[in-house]
Amino acid sequence: MPRGDDRQFTRALAEAAVANDYVIDSQDMHEFAAHQLREYKQQYEALEARRVAITGPMNIALRNVNALFKPVMDRLDEASRTLRSRMLDWTRKEQQRIAEENAARERAARATREALEARAREAAQQGKHEEAHALTQGAAVMSAPVVPLKVAAVAGVSTRTNWTAECTDLAALVAYVAEHPEYLNLLQANQQALTALAKAQKTALAIPGVRAFDRGSVAIRK
């Protein structure tokens, strides 16, 4: 809270409280309000000059401190990103290699399983029921072991999944959302572009779902 014994603060707060009591219902009141706005601006600029006189040296000191540490800390961040990227690249390659090896083992196991099943059918056809049963049992338990990725554990460092998504075809996304409005939150209007269109076209702007209007503004000059 502002200091209660500061005359500049006290005057500014008292002046600001007047705004709530203004009722602009005539040319005179409009003119009074305009004069009050100029007074607000002058007081604001005076307070800002006083604030900057205090914070200016502090900001300079802060910038100097940041300039001292930033190059070294940025280099550490860059080095960290480099190692993270290379660790993830290795992890992906290892996952692919292990997945391919697991798939190869599964194909071999499936081939063995199918061969045992074929032999079981042949034995059954020949009346060798015990042999057929044993072969069937062997085929049922024939499977390849799934080997997981093993990464050396280091305290405080771990690799985990981190799924994300990116838009690769905006037109396709828009078309999909048009058919599935429950995903409307995936799209966001470009307010900056809409404002530029409104300034250029004004009342001529006619785009479904868009309303152009004059918000108005009051400029204050010294």
Decide which of 149, 181, 199 is a domain's last residue: 149
DSSP secondary structure string for all residues of 51-85 = HHHHHHHHHHHHHHHHHHHHHHHHHHHHHHHHHHH
- A 10 A CB-CB count for 130 gives 8
Residue 158 falls within a domain, yes or no? no
Same domain flag for 83 and 121: yes
Same domain flag for 142 and 175: no
pLDDT value of position 166? 94
Report the domain count for the chain.
Answer: 2
Alpha-carbon 10 to chain mean position: 44
Residue 113 falls within a domain, yes or no? yes
Measured distance CA(72)–CA(78) in Å, rounded: 10
Measured distance CA(180)–CA(174) in Å, rounded: 10
Measured distance CA(138)–CA(120) in Å, rounded: 10
- Mapping DSSP to helix (H, G, I), strand (E, B) and coil, where does residue 133 land? helix
pLDDT value of position 162? 84
Give the burial string for 101-114 (b: 16+ CB within 10 Å, else e). Answer: eeeeeeeeeeeebe
Residue 16 falls within a domain, yes or no? yes
pLDDT value of position 2? 60
Residue 160 falls within a domain, yes or no? no
Same domain flag for 143 and 174: no
Residue 144 falls within a domain, yes or no? yes
Same domain flag for 72 and 108: yes
Residue 193 falls within a domain, yes or no? yes
Same domain flag for 32 and 82: yes
Contact 40, 16 (CB under 8 A): yes
**pLDDT per residue over 113-141, tens digit each?**
999 999 999 989 998 889 889 888 988 88
Same domain flag for 118 and 85: yes
pLDDT value of position 198? 95
List all residues 6 or more positions away from 37 whose beta carbon is below 8 Å from its beta carbon.
218, 220
Same domain flag for 127 and 19: yes
Same domain flag for 39 and 127: yes
pLDDT value of position 217? 85
For the chain, the 3-state helix, strand and coil shares in percent, each to the nearest 5, are: 70, 0, 30
Decide which of 104, 124, 149 is a domain's last residue: 149
Q: What is the domain range of residue 177?
A: 165-209
Same domain flag for 185 and 116: no
Same domain flag for 84 and 142: yes
Same domain flag for 24 and 112: yes
Q: C-alpha dihedral over 12, 18, 22, 28, to 10 degrees? A: -70
Q: What is the pTM of this model?
A: 0.61
27-125 and 129-140 helices, crossing angle to 10°: 160
Residue 57 falls within a domain, yes or no? yes
pLDDT value of position 156? 79
**pLDDT per residue over 179-207, tens digit each?**
999 999 999 999 999 999 999 999 999 99
Beta bridge partners of 157: 154
Same domain flag for 106 and 140: yes
Per-residue pLDDT of the chain (222 residues), as tens digits, is 566 578 899 989 998 998 988 899 999 999 989 999 999 999 999 999 999 999 999 999 999 999 999 999 999 999 999 999 999 999 889 989 999 999 999 999 999 999 999 999 998 999 888 988 988 898 888 888 888 878 777 787 887 888 899 999 999 999 999 999 999 999 999 999 999 999 999 999 999 999 999 998 888 876
Residue 96 falls within a domain, yes or no? yes
